[in-house]
Amino acid sequence: MLARWLNIIAIICVIPYTKGELRVAIAHLQSLQSVTGQIELTETAKGLHVYGVITGLPPGAYGFHVHELGDVTPDCNLAGRHFNPEGATHGGRESTIRHVGDLGNVLFVNDRASSATVDFEDSVLTLRGPNSILGRSLVLHIHEDDLGLGGNSTSLTTGNSGPRVACGVIGIKSPFEPWSAASSVSPSGKKSSHASSFLLTKNHPVNPVLTSKARARAAVTLCKVVRSAYRQNSCSLWMDVSLDLPSLALGIT
């Protein structure tokens, strides 16, 4: 039985968990008008640092959000609604109740380029797990976001921020190695308690159609074997769903 399980499991790598690179995402904002911009989203110990410059609009405040879809053609109208996996009402970036994608307003100033500098840290946004904003879109609207305080139903969904004027897909910038469970570290950069990890995948040619349940059972069996071999007291299993990869990760502690 043990040999059977080991034959259908691909142990891709065995690596120590150490401090690794923080993830960085990027979005290039474009529009049918003259609005352009580049926004970088970098992991920090407290969430994501959002930084960049947008140009091309008159001075004023404009609503800025993460939308649920990454389809930004032809004029951002296919990007879906605000990213709101928790089903909350709309609010501001610092509101207790808000969409994950609620980023408040960006302020364009009366300079030579008519630009807005975006520079803030957000504790709700993430590049990992089921609420990851990777592959979704950043959208700039034509009106100021009332942050859910407008006193009408639209205020509680969009902040009355109006039509979309620019948008861009949020994509991977760095690091270059795969963003898999086996190489993940916490955004705080702290060393994990897991001494070793193993990546298991259903794409192994021995058995390319392993179901999630079958992989889970196989992982549990392997967990017991590894725990015994390393003389460890415990073993943990988890899945990295940030990119919806068909993989399981196994660690010993």
Residues 113 and 226 in one domain: no
Residue 228: band (very low, low, confident or very high) from pLDDT cuts 50, 70, 90: low
The residue among 15 and 210 whose pLDDT is bigger is: 210
Q: What is the pLDDT of residue 113?
A: 80
Determine if the peptide bond prior to 85 is cis (ω within 30°).
no
Residues 151 and 189 in one domain: no
82 is catalytic: yes
Domain boundary among 153, 174, 195: 174
CATH of the domain at 122: 2.60.40.200
Q: What is the pLDDT of residue 172?
A: 93
Q: Which of 23, 67, 128, 136 is catalytic?
A: 67
Residues 80 and 119 in one domain: yes
Mean pLDDT of 130-140: 95
194 is catalytic: no
Residue 121 pLDDT > 50: yes
Residues 129 and 182 in one domain: no
Q: Which of 99, 128, 136, 215 is catalytic?
A: 99
164 is catalytic: yes
The residue among 193 and 221 whose pLDDT is bigger is: 221
Q: Are strands 196-201 and 247-252 parallel, antiparallel or unpaired?
A: antiparallel
Domain boundary among 131, 146, 174: 174
Residues 55 and 33 in one domain: yes
Domain boundary among 115, 141, 174: 174
Q: What is the pLDDT of residue 122?
A: 97
Q: Which of 93, 128, 136, 141 is catalytic?
A: 141
Residues 84 and 48 in one domain: yes
Q: Which of 102, 145, 146, 240 is catalytic?
A: 102
Q: Which of 128, 164, 215, 240 is catalytic?
A: 164
102 is catalytic: yes
Task: Using a pLDDT cut of 70, give the percent of the chain over it.
Answer: 61
User: 235 is in which domain, residue-wise?
Assistant: 2-19+178-252
Q: Picking from 94-98, 153-157, 192-196, which range would have the lowest pLDDT averaged per residue?
A: 192-196
Q: Which of 23, 82, 98, 128 is catalytic?
A: 82
| Integer Cα distance of 22 and 48 in angstroms | 10
Q: What is the pLDDT of residue 10?
A: 35
Residues 45 and 84 in one domain: yes
Q: What is the pLDDT of residue 147?
A: 98
Residues 189 and 170 in one domain: no
Residue 251: band (very low, low, confident or very high) from pLDDT cuts 50, 70, 90: very low
Q: Picking from 71-80, 82-91, 154-163, 215-224, which range would have the lowest pLDDT averaged per residue?
A: 215-224
Q: Picking from 8-12, 108-112, 144-148, 214-218, which range would have the lowest pLDDT averaged per residue?
A: 8-12
Q: Please tell me the total count of domains within the chain.
A: 2
| Integer Cα distance of 97 and 91 in angstroms | 6
Residues 148 and 166 in one domain: yes
Q: Are strands 115-122 and 137-141 parallel, antiparallel or unpaired?
A: unpaired
Q: What is the pLDDT of residue 193?
A: 36
Residues 154 and 221 in one domain: no
67 is catalytic: yes
Residues 184 and 168 in one domain: no
Residues 72 and 130 in one domain: yes
Give residue-wise pLDDT tens across range 76-91: 999 999 999 999 999 9
Query: In this structure, what is the dihedral angle of CA atoms 37, 100, 241, 118, given to the nearest 10 degrees?
Result: 20
| Integer Cα distance of 163 and 229 in angstroms | 60
